[in-house]
Every structure is written in structure tokens, then in C-alpha cells.
């Protein structure tokens, strides 16, 4: 370490101490976090058995404020803010009795809003929205008591829909759809009280069907069809209660031969290769 670097370090420390003394000369008590002890989830001043009440701050190595929060009896209360090294706000959060309560906002390094979420008594409650660095919305999710409810949507950075689905009490219900970045449907799945139930379909980016599967109470039940990218059948499988049961047909990618397999309760019983028909 050079003499110049040492002098700069000392000056920075003196500046921080001076700021701390200046802040404490007013009505509000302010202490740098490194000067406190954390015991049993509460902050205390050194050699004190009384939980700290006042503002706690910390700084980046470049001297910029890193975080600032108000504490009562050692527990965070009210506004809590963190900052990037360039001084931009990184996070702004409101607390009540040590729990998130109210609006929480996070920001990208360029100052654009990253997310906005409402809290109540420590749980997400209300609308939560996310944003890309370019300002484009990335998600819109509704919560009640930390559980997803109603219509939830996610978006690609180009603004096109990525996901759409309804939730009740935190569980997906009805039709859920995912989309590729080019707008093509990627998958459609049906849910019943949080479990796959009914027909699910998956697609290639060009819109060609990749597979179709049937579910009952969260398990594959019925026929599952899989296709090559050119649209030709890859396989036909029969399921019962989540296990292969019945005849399975496997076709090679040139559709020259087929493998016929017979399953019972998930166990392979027989197999033979035949010319493709």
C-alpha cells in the first residue's frame, strides 16, 4: 500500500467519523452498522444490554452511502434503503415491527425500476410487478397472504407474452400457457387444484406439435404422443396412473422401423422390431 493510498484511507475514515458525529449532533441518533453487535436478531451498541434505537447506516468503500434504516429497540422499523456504489437507490422497503409492510421497490443499476411489491405483515399482498432494464414490464403477479391469486402474467423482454395462468390460493387452476419469444405457443397445460389434469400440449418454436399428454390427478393417464420436428410420429405411449401400461410404439427418425413394446404396471413385458407402417 502506497503512502498516498494510506492517506486517502485515513481521510475517508475521518470523513465518515465526521459525518457520523455531525448526524448525531442533531435530534436523530445515527450509528455505523460496523459499530454495533447483532444478538438474537437485535442490534446493540458495544458493551450495552439495551437494544439500539436510532438510525443505522453503512458505506461502500468509495465513501458512498450503502444502506440506511431506522431501528427501534434493535429491530428495523419504517424506511430501509440501500444504494449502489454510484449513489443510485438499489432497494427501498418499509417495515413494521421488523417485518416488511407496505411498498418494496428495487431498481436496476441504471435507475430503472426492477420490481414493485406490496407487503402486509411480512407477506406479499397485492400486486407485484417486475421490469426489465429497458423499462419493459417482465411480470404482473397478484398475491394474498404470500400466495398467488387471479391472473398472473410474465413477459419477454421484447414485450410479448411469456406466460399466462390463473391461481387460487397459490395453486394453478385451469389453462396455463407458455409462449416462445417469437410469440409462438410453447405449451398449454390444464390444472385442477394445483395438479395437472386433462390434456397438455407442447410445441416447437415453428408451431409444430412436439407432444401431447393426458393427465389425471397429476399423473400421466391415457395416450402420450411425441413427434419429430418434421411432424412425423416419434412415439405413442400408453399410461395408467403415471406408469406405462399397454402397447408403446417407438419409430426411428426415418420411419423405417418401429419398436413395439408391451408394458404392465410400468414393467416391460415384451418387445419386438417391425417394419414401419
Does 33 map to a domain?
no
- Quick one: 277 and 258 in the same domain? yes
- Quick one: 215 and 154 in the same domain? yes
The pLDDT of residue 256 is 78
- Quick one: 228 and 276 in the same domain? yes
The pLDDT of residue 10 is 44
- Quick one: 269 and 247 in the same domain? yes
Gap between the Cα atoms of 32 and 87, Å rounded: 17
- Quick one: 229 and 272 in the same domain? yes
The pLDDT of residue 27 is 54
Does 195 map to a domain?
yes
- From 219, 235, 262, the end of a domain falls on 219
Does 188 map to a domain?
yes
pTM to 2 decimal places: 0.81
Does 106 map to a domain?
no
- From 219, 248, 268, the end of a domain falls on 219
- Quick one: 189 and 179 in the same domain? yes
Question: Bridge partners of 246?
Answer: 263
Instruction: Report whether 90 contacts 108 (CB < 8 A).
Output: no
- Quick one: 207 and 243 in the same domain? no
25-29 long-range contacts, CB within 8 A, separation 24+:
28/54, 28/55, 29/53, 29/54, 29/55
Question: Bridge partners of 274?
Answer: 258
- From 219, 244, 268, the end of a domain falls on 219
- Quick one: 227 and 276 in the same domain? yes
Would you call 25 exposed, middle or buried from its count of C-beta atoms within 10 A (0-12, 13-18, 19+)?
A: exposed
- Quick one: 227 and 194 in the same domain? no
The chain-wide mean pLDDT, for the chain, equals 90
Read off the pLDDT of residues 53-105 as tens digits, 9 standing for 90 and up.
999 999 999 999 999 999 999 999 999 999 999 999 999 999 999 999 999 99
More confident residue, 81 or 255: 81
Q: What total of structural domains would you count in the chain? A: 2
Does 2 map to a domain?
no
- Quick one: 214 and 153 in the same domain? yes
Read off the pLDDT of residues 172-213 as tens digits, 9 standing for 90 and up.
999 999 999 999 999 999 999 999 999 999 999 999 999 999
- Quick one: 201 and 245 in the same domain? no
* 159 Cα distance to chain centroid: 19
Radius of gyration of the chain (CA): 29
Find where cell 407487503 sits. Answer: 119
Question: Each residue of 170-187: b (16+ CB within 10 Å) or e?
Answer: eebbeebebbbeeeeebb
| Residue span of the structural domain in which 240 resides | 221-277
Amino acid at each position: 500500500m502506497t503512502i498516498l493510498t494510506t492517506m486517502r484511507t485515513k481521510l475517508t475514515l475521518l470523513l465518515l467519523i465526521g459525518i457520523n458525529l455531525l448526524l448525531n449532533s442533531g435530534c436523530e441518533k445515527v450509528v455505523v452498522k460496523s459499530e454495533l453487535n447483532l444478538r438474537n436478531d437485535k442490534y446493540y451498541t458495544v458493551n450495552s444490554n439495551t437494544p439500539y434505537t436510532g438510525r443505522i447506516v453503512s458505506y461502500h468503500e468509495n465513501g458512498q452511502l450503502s444502506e440506511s434504516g431506522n431501528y427501534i429497540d434493535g429491530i428495523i422499523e419504517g424506511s430501509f434503503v440501500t444504494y449502489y456504489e454510484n449513489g443510485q437507490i438499489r432497494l427501498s422497503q418499509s417495515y413494521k415491527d421488523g417485518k416488511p409492510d407496505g411498498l418494496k421497490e428495487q431498481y436496476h443499476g441504471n435507475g430503472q425500476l426492477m420490481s414493485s411489491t406490496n407487503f402486509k405483515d411480512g407477506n406479499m399482498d397485492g400486486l407485484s410487478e417486475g421490469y426489465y432494464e429497458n423499462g419493459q414490464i417482465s411480470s404482473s403477479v397478484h398475491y394474498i397472504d404470500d400466495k398467488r391469486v387471479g391472473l398472473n402474467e410474465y413477459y419477454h423482454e421484447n414485450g410479448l407474452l411469456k406466460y399466462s395462468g390463473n391461481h387460487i390460493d397459490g395453486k394453478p387452476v385451469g389453462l396455463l400457457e407458455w409462449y416462445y419469444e417469437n410469440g409462438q405457443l410453447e405449451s398449454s397445460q390444464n390444472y385442477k387444484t394445483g395438479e395437472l389434469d386433462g390434456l397438455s400440449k407442447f410445441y416447437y418454436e415453428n408451431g409444430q406439435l412436439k407432444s401431447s399428454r393426458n393427465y389425471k390427478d397429476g399423473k400421466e393417464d391415457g395416450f402420450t404422443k411425441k413427434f419429430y420436428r418434421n411432424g412425423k410420429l416419434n412415439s405413442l405411449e400408453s399410461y395408467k396412473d403415471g406408469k406405462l401400461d399397454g402397447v408403446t410404439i417407438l419409430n426411428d427418425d426415418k420411419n423405417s422401423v418401429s419398436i413395439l413394446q408391451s408394458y404392465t404396471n410400468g414393467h416391460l413385458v415384451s418387445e419386438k422390431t417391425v417394419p414401419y407402417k
